Amino acid sequence: SQQGEEDPQALSIQEGENATMNCSYKTSINNLQWYRQNSGRGLVHLILIRSNEREKHSGRLRVTLDTSKKSSSLLITASRAADTASYFCATYTGGGNKLTFGTGTQLKVEL
Amino acid sequence: SQTIHQWPATLVQPVGSPLSLECTVEGTSNPNLYWYRQAAGRGLQLLFYSVGIGQISSEVPQNLSASRPQDRQFILSSKKLLLSDSGFYLCAWSVLAGTDTQYFGPGTRLTVL
């Protein structure tokens, strides 16, 4: 399996609800990043959390990191239809230049 | 501010034809550059990265090659396309290697028929 694996693979919620996505990884990390991809578009960086941080906020986004469990979660509060996208976690592995992405969570926010 | 461009946006090519995808970055110097491929409904696979002009590292053996003729230009090429080369190709850049945020271009949708 991949270094970063998101769970669930797909999530459908109503506008205004919160969306939670989880990411698990295998090796030690310097930081973990979350990206968003709208259909057919490039990825957009959302937030970076360092290995010595446990929680980070950016607007309606809240990211947590548990290095003991090698897992992270992304919470989007008060979701909007515009949040419909795929969300990926990513980590650098082995001290090299390789940013490894998971297969992503497809989020659909319905009106 | 920095911007990254990719072209073309879409491309349909016959099997066996050559390929050239271009990526350019503006507003920064000596960026680290990356080529990724994304299959439908999947995550990203790193194909190549470059830390400087003429310096290319390949992550997976394949039918593709990359070149960096100028500081802010990254080119993905193939001499003869295969059906399996179809996919969504993304170029990205970062300031630092190994720990930094990557910034992605809009991508090129390649269909090989």
For residue B95, the chain A residue with the least C-alpha distance is A97
* H or E segment and range at residue A25: none
Q: What is the pLDDT of residues A74-83, one digit of tens each?
A: 999 999 999 9
Q: What is the pLDDT of residues B28-83, one digit of tens each?
A: 999 999 999 998 777 899 999 999 999 999 887 788 999 999 999 999 999 999 99
Distance in angstroms (rounded) separating the CA atoms of residues A70 and A27: 8
Pairing of strands A10-14, A105-110: parallel
Which pLDDT value is given to residue B23? Answer: 98
Q: What is the pLDDT of residues A30-69, one digit of tens each?
A: 899 999 999 989 999 999 999 999 999 999 999 999 999 9
What is the least distance, in Å, from the CA of A68 to any CA of chain B?
A: 20
B69: left (phi over 0), alpha (psi -120 to 50) or beta: alpha
Q: Which amino acid is at B38?
A: Q
Cβ contacts of A98 on chain B, cutoff 8 Å: 46, 49, 59
Q: How far apart are the first and last CA of chain B?
A: 38
Q: Is some CB atom of chain A closer than 8 A to the CB atom of B40?
A: no
Distance in angstroms (rounded) separating the CA atoms of residues B33 and B93: 4
* A8 half-sphere exposure, CB direction, 13 A CA radius: 9
Q: What is the pLDDT of residues B80-104, one digit of tens each?
A: 999 999 999 999 999 987 778 999 9
B87: left (phi over 0), alpha (psi -120 to 50) or beta: left
Which pLDDT value is given to residue B40? Answer: 79
- Answer whether B8's CB lies under 8 Å from B75's CB: no
Q: Is some CB atom of chain A closer than 8 A to the CB atom of B55?
A: no
Query: Which among B34, B98, B106 is the nearest to A95, CB-wise?
Result: B98
What is the least distance, in Å, from the CA of B11 to any CA of chain A?
A: 14
Q: Where are any strands of DSSP class E within A1-111?
A: 5-7, 10-14, 19-24, 31-37, 43-50, 55-58, 61-66, 71-76, 85-92, 99-101, 105-110
